[in-house]
């Protein structure tokens, strides 16, 4: 399996991703992104949590190693309804 790779400027919001295992199809946001310092990724929301393949990675690094989450989360949340449920472990590790 190979995850799709995007840059933040790319049209990842409208790309339809497909799970190689269960053939779920949907957008990055429908899959439920996980946010990290310089990238976000999403796994299949339909597969079992521990076996869900990674579907896509969006790179929003600006190249200097800074944590982009505050900026990106603000941008995304201002565009869309709130993302998934709280309790995303990736967000608890904000440095």
**Dihedral angle of Cα 66, 3, 90, 47, to the nearest 10 degrees:** 170
How far apart are CB 39 and Zn ion at their closest, in Å? 21
How far apart are CB 47 and Zn ion at their closest, in Å? 3
How far apart are CB 18 and Zn ion at their closest, in Å? 9
Confirm or reject binding of residue 44 to Zn ion (CB under 5 A). Answer: yes
**Residue 43: count of CB within 10 angstroms of its CB:** 19
Q: Judged by CB, which is closer to Zn ion: 47, or 90?
A: 47
Identify which range of 25-33, 36-44, 62-70, 85-93 contacts Zn ion by CB under 5 A.
36-44
Helix intervals (H) in 14-92: 28-31, 69-79, 89-92
Which one of 3, 47, 54, 83 is in contact with Zn ion (CB under 5 A)?
Answer: 47
DSSP 55: E
| DSSP 3-state of 58 | strand
Confirm or reject binding of residue 6 to Zn ion (CB under 5 A). Answer: no
């Amino acid at each position: 399996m190979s995850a799709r790779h995007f840059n933040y400027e790319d049209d990842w919001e409208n790309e339809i991703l497909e799970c190689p295992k269960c053939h779920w199809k949907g957008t990055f946001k429908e899959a439920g992104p996980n946010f990290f310092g310089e990238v976000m990724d999403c796994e299949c929301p339909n597969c079992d949590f521990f076996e869900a393949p990674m579907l896509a990675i969006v790179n929003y690094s600006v190249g200097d190693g800074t944590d982009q989450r505050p900026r990106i989360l603000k941008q995304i949340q201002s565009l869309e309804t709130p993302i998934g449920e709280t309790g995303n472990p990736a967000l608890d590790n904000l440095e």
